[in-house]
């Protein structure tokens, strides 16, 4: 009679805890913990860092959500926002000439209400070039805060009175920084920040005056999201809602890259840990054939054996899952602490979702990679107690692993929601696996040729590898995979990270100059050269309005992407160039060659997608009343975070030249030489300089945060790689120990056995090391090129480090594992249980 479920449960729990105590489960549990901790740690962390990054990004809106309109925004929105638990603030901005005595200049007046900015902080100083501090609050009524550029143009400083419309306001502070400075072409004039209460007195708001109204909202993410969803539908004509995703492409692009790095790290950790789990489970279940035969012999039914295995795995999954989640949570706490300075604000604590995720991870990895092996062991015939050679029918690894792989893949897709990344990495890992397997098999095969060549120990060792065939391939692949990860992490990771950071070097352009007239480019180049600054590259800019796509009127077209519609309705900035800019890359089509006769345009990829453009489409523009058109001949990606002037649409030479153009350029001016810019503005009064330091700072901050987080998460990957190595060593050990003991029993000398074993392990290590170097090189290249749009340099160090590491690590660990056997009397190993 078989016992009831409850006692099976108790029995399984007891067996499990005894196995744990005897060290049978160590590798399996370690691998499981790493997988779960990596998954949850990253999920927790990306959640929090993502929030931090978003907050930082939100600063460039000064809010989480911004409603813009050309008409005064109804108070209803304030009520709606407050009901949704959000803070609100208002901005009204308009260009106006301001006077300081005789001097006058065009300024962007920003009248703000209390609470502005809802995100980020204003920085001010008591006078020009004075000490900059963070200001809470806004100018008091009757006062104004002026940007340094405005003061420079007016030749004024704090304390002076400005005439703004019909009001007189006293400049009380210099406004050095506002978080929503941005650098869109709209905000050309220097800022004058005033209190909303003064707006009426200025009498600037008249019928027909160009006032832009904004309402800002900020609050908890969930509240903001649901609020956004509700009001998105009620927007009136002329009202436009933007959130942080619509802001600076620079920040967005580095955020995306950071997210990809983080996901990559956790994904690879999980996949690697799954490999380790599979190996450990294989070893565990193989070691337990005897136990299962015995249990059956003692009367356990097939279903009881299966139940028991299943319960044990379930318990492992739950316990391992919970502990893994805890580890992930702790790791994340540590990381958040590491980044406390950069995060700045205290973050809302992470939600429970990653915890649930951890449990699901544990379950699916065990179900996918350990259950098939264990279930198969349940088929061990009881007669094995009498005939040791009776094994369960061989597992169809192909099929069972396919199920496991599918489970884990589905999980990853579900979590990361980035099909391209997951599938790329997954295909990469699978290919790596297959390639390693095939190469490993060839290498192992080729060892047969060596057999006759060397001494006895060599012959014995090498023959062993070839004889074990399949097992050897598995070991070579496992060691190769583990080493490859180590190599990737130690070299490629730093290279990738460096390349990433170098994409925004310290001397990245921090000044954008626009509105440069064609005749000014020469003198301006000379101006900078005189001051020992490199002459910048001038890029032409032509303002135009898009009129037609393939002959159809864009104002009548419907766009699938609402963003596309916005682009089509708005003035475009066009440029031309003879060749592709260094930070651009063609993804589809071809760039024109020098003497092409056709009128072509190269379109930025996302922009083109939003407009629904494809190669060969004809786009028409209205430039100063004349119709111009060109054929879309290529799509490009642009590194917006390079801070060079870049355009959505770049034309081939000869199309735009006849039309009035201005030039723009960007350059780096060190903090200590800011006076150069002031000089420049005096010499070229019509040129507008835009200070990018604020945006640059934001991007750098995002990068630094993300880089640190990514480095930390790679620790999990490292651990996962080490666990694979560990599992491989454990698998190797069982067999070699027994064999070496046998050899000793048959009278082989210590030296002989040792050199045989050494040869075997060194050879395996060498093979694995070569595979690892090849794999790491290829993987590094593919990662850099395909996922991160970075250029990757070939690294010869890998080819030295890989084989060396392999020989040393595998050789030593293998010998350490067999050392006891060789030195102790062989009986201790041969003694059966």
Residues in contact with other proteins by CB under 8 A are 1-4, 7-8, 10-11, 14, 18-19, 21-24, 290-291, 294-304, 381-383, 385-388, 828, 831-833
Query: Minimal distance in Å, beta carbon 734 to other proteins?
Result: 12
How many of the other CB atoms lie within 10 Å of CB of 485? 26
Nearer to other proteins, 450 or 738 (CB): 738
Closest C-alpha among 619, 599, 598 to residue 607: 619
* Token representation of residue 743: 């050899």
Query: Minimal distance in Å, beta carbon 7 to other proteins?
Result: 4
Torsion angle defined by CA atoms of residues 715, 717, 722 and 725, in that order, rounded to the nearest 10 degrees: -170
Nearer to other proteins, 205 or 385 (CB): 385
Nearer to other proteins, 378 or 482 (CB): 378
Helices 249-287 and 419-447 cross at an angle (nearest 10°) of: 40
- Asked if residue 695 lies in contact with residue 666, where contact means CB atoms within 8 angstroms, the answer is no
Query: Minimal distance in Å, beta carbon 830 to other proteins?
Result: 11
Query: Minimal distance in Å, beta carbon 831 to other proteins?
Result: 7
Beta strand 626-638 with 600-604 is parallel
- CA atoms 553, 559, 565, 571: torsion sign: negative
Query: Minimal distance in Å, beta carbon 390 to other proteins?
Result: 10
Nearer to other proteins, 173 or 384 (CB): 384
Beta strand 584-589 with 618-623 is unpaired
Closest C-alpha among 33, 12, 215, 4 to residue 111: 215
Closest C-alpha among 425, 348, 410, 417 to residue 47: 348
At a CB cut-off of 8 Å and minimum separation 6, what does 436 contact? Answer: 476, 477, 480, 481, 484, 771, 775
Nearer to other proteins, 291 or 543 (CB): 291
Query: Minimal distance in Å, beta carbon 378 to other proteins?
Result: 12
Nearer to other proteins, 388 or 749 (CB): 388
Helix (H, G, I), strand (E, B) or coil at 164: strand
Query: Minimal distance in Å, beta carbon 768 to other proteins?
Result: 30
Query: Minimal distance in Å, beta carbon 400 to other proteins?
Result: 23
Query: Minimal distance in Å, beta carbon 8 to other proteins?
Result: 8
Nearer to other proteins, 26 or 631 (CB): 26
Distance from C-alpha of 726 to C-alpha of 720, rounded to nearest angstrom: 10
Nearer to other proteins, 284 or 761 (CB): 284
- Asked if residue 636 lies in contact with residue 592, where contact means CB atoms within 8 angstroms, the answer is no
Query: Minimal distance in Å, beta carbon 17 to other proteins?
Result: 10
Query: Minimal distance in Å, beta carbon 281 to other proteins?
Result: 16
Distance from C-alpha of 773 to C-alpha of 545, rounded to nearest angstrom: 53
Nearer to other proteins, 300 or 798 (CB): 300
Nearer to other proteins, 284 or 458 (CB): 284
Nearer to other proteins, 249 or 381 (CB): 381
CA angle 411, 413, 415 (to 5 degrees): 70
At a CB cut-off of 8 Å and minimum separation 6, what does 418 contact? Answer: 260, 263
- Asked if residue 91 lies in contact with residue 115, where contact means CB atoms within 8 angstroms, the answer is no
* Token representation of residue 765: 């290590």
């Amino acid at each position: 009679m078989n016992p009831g479920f409850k006692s099976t449960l108790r029995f399984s729990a007891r067996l499990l805890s005894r196995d744990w105590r005897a060290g049978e489960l160590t590798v399996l549990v370690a691998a499981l913990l790493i997988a779960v901790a990596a998954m949850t740690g990253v999920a927790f962390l990306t959640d929090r860092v993502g929030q931090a990054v978003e907050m930082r990004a939100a600063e460039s809106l000064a809010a989480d959500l911004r409603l813009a309109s050309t008409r005064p925004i109804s108070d209803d929105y304030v009520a709606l926002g407050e009901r949704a638990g959000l803070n609100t603030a208002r901005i009204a901005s308009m260009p106006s000439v301001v006077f300081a005595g005789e001097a006058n200049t065009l300024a962007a007046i920003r009248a703000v209400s209390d609470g502005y900015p809802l995100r980020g902080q204003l920085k001010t100083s008591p006078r020009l070039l004075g000490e900059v501090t963070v200001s809470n609050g806004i100018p008091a009524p009757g006062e104004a805060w002026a940007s340094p550029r405005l003061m420079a143009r007016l030749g004024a400083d704090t304390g002076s009175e400005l005439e703004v419309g019909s009001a007189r306001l006293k400049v009380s502070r210099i406004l050095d920084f506002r978080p929503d400075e941005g650098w869109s072409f709209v905000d050309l004039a220097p800022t004058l920040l005033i209190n909303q209460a003064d707006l009426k007195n200025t009498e600037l708001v008249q019928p027909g005056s160009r006032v832009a109204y904004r309402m800002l909202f900020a609050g908890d993410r969930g509240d903001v999201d649901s609020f956004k969803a509700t009001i998105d539908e009620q927007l009136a004509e002329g009202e436009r809602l933007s959130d942080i995703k619509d802001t600076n492409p620079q920040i967005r692009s580095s955020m995306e890259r950071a997210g990809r790095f983080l996901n990559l790290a956790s994904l690879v950790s999980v996949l690697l840990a799954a490999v380790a789990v599979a190996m450990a489970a294989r070893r565990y279940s193989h070691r337990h054939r005897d136990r299962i035969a015995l249990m059956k012999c003692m009367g356990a039914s097939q279903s009881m054996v299966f139940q028991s295995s299943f319960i044990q795995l379930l318990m492992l999954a739950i316990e391992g899952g919970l502990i893994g989640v805890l580890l992930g949570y702790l790791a994340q706490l540590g990381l958040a602490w590491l980044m406390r300075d950069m995060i700045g604000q205290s973050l809302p604590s992470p939600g429970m979702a990653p915890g649930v995720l951890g449990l699901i991870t544990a379950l699916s990895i065990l179900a996918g990679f350990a259950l098939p092996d264990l279930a198969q062991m349940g088929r061990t015939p009881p007669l094995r107690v009498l005939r040791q050679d009776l094994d369960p029918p061989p597992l169809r690894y192909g099929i069972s692993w396919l199920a496991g792989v599918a489970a884990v893949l589905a999980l990853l897709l579900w979590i990361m929601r980035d099909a391209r990344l997951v599938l790329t990495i997954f295909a990469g890992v699978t290919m790596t696996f297959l390639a390693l397997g095939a190469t490993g098999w060839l290498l192992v095969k080729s060892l047969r040729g060596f057999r006759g060549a060397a001494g006895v120990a060599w012959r014995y060792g090498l023959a062993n590898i070839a004889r074990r065939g399949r097992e050897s391939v598995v070991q070579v692949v496992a060691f190769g995979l583990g080493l490859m990860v180590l190599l990737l992490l130690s070299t490629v990771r730093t290279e990738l990270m460096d390349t990433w950071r170098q994409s925004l070097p310290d001397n990245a352009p921090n000044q954008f100059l626009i509105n440069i007239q064609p005749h000014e480019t020469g003198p301006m180049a000379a101006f900078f050269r005189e001051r020992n600054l490199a002459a910048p590259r001038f890029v032409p800019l032509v303002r135009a309005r898009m009129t037609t796509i393939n002959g159809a009127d864009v104002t009548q077209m419907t766009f699938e992407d609402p963003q596309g519609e916005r682009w089509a309705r708005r003035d475009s900035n066009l440029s031309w160039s003879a060749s592709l800019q260094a930070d651009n890359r063609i993804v589809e089509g071809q760039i024109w060659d020098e003497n092409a006769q056709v009128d072509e345009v190269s379109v930025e990829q996302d922009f083109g997608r939003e407009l629904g453009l494809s190669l060969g489409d004809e786009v028409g523009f209205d430039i100063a009343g004349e119709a111009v058109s060109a054929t879309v001949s290529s799509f490009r990606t642009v590194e917006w975070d390079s801070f060079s002037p870049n355009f959505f649409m770049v034309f081939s030479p000869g199309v735009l030249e006849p039309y009035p153009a201005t030039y723009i350029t960007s350059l780096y001016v060190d903090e200590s030489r800011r006076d150069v810019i002031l000089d420049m503005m005096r010499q070229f009064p019509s040129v507008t300089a835009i200070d990018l330091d604020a945006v640059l700072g934001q991007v750098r901050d995002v990068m630094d945060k993300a880089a640190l987080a990514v480095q930390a998460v790679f620790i999990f990957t490292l651990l996962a790689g080490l666990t694979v190595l560990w599992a491989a060593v454990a698998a190797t050990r069982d067999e070699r120990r027994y064999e070496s003991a046998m050899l000793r029993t048959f009278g082989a000398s210590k030296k002989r056995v040792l050199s045989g074993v050494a040869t075997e392990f060194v050879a395996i290590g060498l093979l694995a090391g070569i595979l690892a170097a090849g794999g790491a090189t290829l993987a590094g290249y593919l990662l850099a090129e395909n996922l991160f749009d970075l250029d990757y340099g070939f690294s010869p160090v890998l080819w030295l480090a890989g084989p060396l590491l392999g020989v040393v690590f595998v050789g030593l660990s293998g010998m350490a594992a067999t050392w006891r056997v060789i030195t102790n009397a062989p009986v201790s190993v041969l003694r059966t249980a």
